[in-house]
């Protein structure tokens, strides 16, 4: 896939967000994509990894407008599902700031009874390439374990020296089913992201390859407390 943007001339820390937007249905049970865009504008990420971006019922229409995302959050919404009539792949997609170069974009199915998948992207940054996996892992631990093993294989096969896995990992324990990811890598703690009404679980996580470091936090604001049942998590990444 051709590069859609050129990286900036000088290195900078990468601001990465992950957000399960719950099909833009807020705690008031209203579908309001504008609130999701507002939250993303507050965060101002270089890259946003998004989950549940399509409606549940076929034809699973996209809930976010690319035009609104670009105009109000400064992000280009990517489409890893070209040809199948929706924006996300099993609800997953990415959004990039204009200065981030997209070198390649792909998507894969994940094994298990639940319809799950992951989006894979190679990003061009001032200090080199980053391989990014955005995913929403299964709720059931048995299927989540199989999906994690599949993604670990994908990361190894990519041969990337720098990689990040981000998304709603649905693992309530510190490591648990995520163990295949953390051999030589690290889970970057962000905080309790679910449920926005009463946060109890750190379901939304970042996993970093060796050599990558940074810090992460939960983005708690008036808008994010009602826009979805998950808080977005935000990581600032750089050399370890």
Three-state helix/strand/coil letters over 187-238: EECCCCCECCCCCCECCEEEEECCCEEEEEEECCCCCHHHHCCECCEEEEEE
Q: What is the pLDDT of residues 149-174, one digit of tens each?
A: 999 999 999 999 999 999 999 999 99
pLDDT (tens digit, 9 = 90+) per residue, 127-138? 889 999 999 999
Q: Token pair 């070209």 is at which residue?
A: 82
Tokens in use for 235?
A: 């990581």
What mean pLDDT is predicted for residues 211-239?
96
Q: Looking at the chain, how many residues does it have?
A: 240
Buried b (16+ CB within 10 A) or exposed e, 120-158: bbbbbbeeebbbbbbbbbbeeeebbbbbbebbbebbeee
Q: What is the mean pLDDT of the chain?
A: 89
Tokens of 191: 């905080």
- Give the separation between CA 214 and CA 237, rounded to whole angstroms: 4
DSSP conformation letters of 87-124: SSBTTBEEEE-TTSEEEEEEEEEE-SSS-EEEEEEEEE
Q: Which stretch of DSSP H or E encloses residue 165? A: strand 163-168
At residue 238, the pLDDT reads 87
24, 53, 62: which is closest to 226 by C-alpha? 24
Q: How far, in Å, CA of 21 to CA of 81, rounded?
A: 18
Question: How does DSSP classify residue 28?
Answer: T
Asked if the peptide bond before residue 235 counts as cis, ω within 30 degrees of 0, the response is no
Q: pLDDT-based confidence at 3, cuts 50/70/90?
A: very low
Q: Worst-scoring range by mean pLDDT, 2-6, 101-105, 135-139?
A: 2-6
Show the tokens assigned to 93.
Answer: 């997609």
Give CA–CA dist 2/4, Å, rounded.
6
Contact 227, 38 (CB under 8 A): yes
């Amino acid at each position: 896939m051709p590069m859609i943007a050129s990286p900036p001339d000088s290195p900078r820390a990468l601001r990465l967000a992950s957000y399960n937007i719950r099909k833009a249905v807020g705690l008031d049970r209203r579908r309001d994509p504008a609130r999701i865009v507002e939250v993303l504008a507050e965060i101002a990420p270089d890259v946003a990894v998004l989950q549940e971006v399509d409606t549940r019922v076929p034809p699973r229409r996209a809930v976010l407008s690319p035009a609104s995302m670009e105009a109000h959050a400064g992000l280009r919404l990517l489409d890893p599902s070209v040809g199948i009539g929706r924006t996300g792949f099993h609800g997953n997609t990415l959004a990039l700031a204009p200065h981030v170069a997209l070198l390649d974009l792909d998507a894969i199915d994940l094994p298990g009874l639940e319809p799950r998948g992951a989006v894979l992207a190679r990003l061009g940054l001032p200090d080199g390439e980053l391989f990014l996996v955005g995913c929403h892992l299964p709720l059931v631990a048995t299927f989540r374990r199989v999906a994690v093993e599949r993604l670990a294989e994908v990361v190894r096969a990519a041969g990337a020296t720098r990689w990040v896995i981000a998304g709603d990992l649905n693992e309530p324990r510190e490591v648990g089913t995520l163990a295949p990811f953390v051999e030589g890598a690290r889970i970057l703690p962000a905080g309790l992201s679910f449920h926005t009404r009463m946060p109890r679980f750190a379901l939304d996580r970042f996993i970093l390859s060796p050599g990558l470091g940074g810090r992460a936090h939960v983005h708690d604001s008036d808008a994010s407390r009602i826009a979805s049942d998950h808080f977005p998590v935000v990581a600032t990444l750089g050399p370890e």
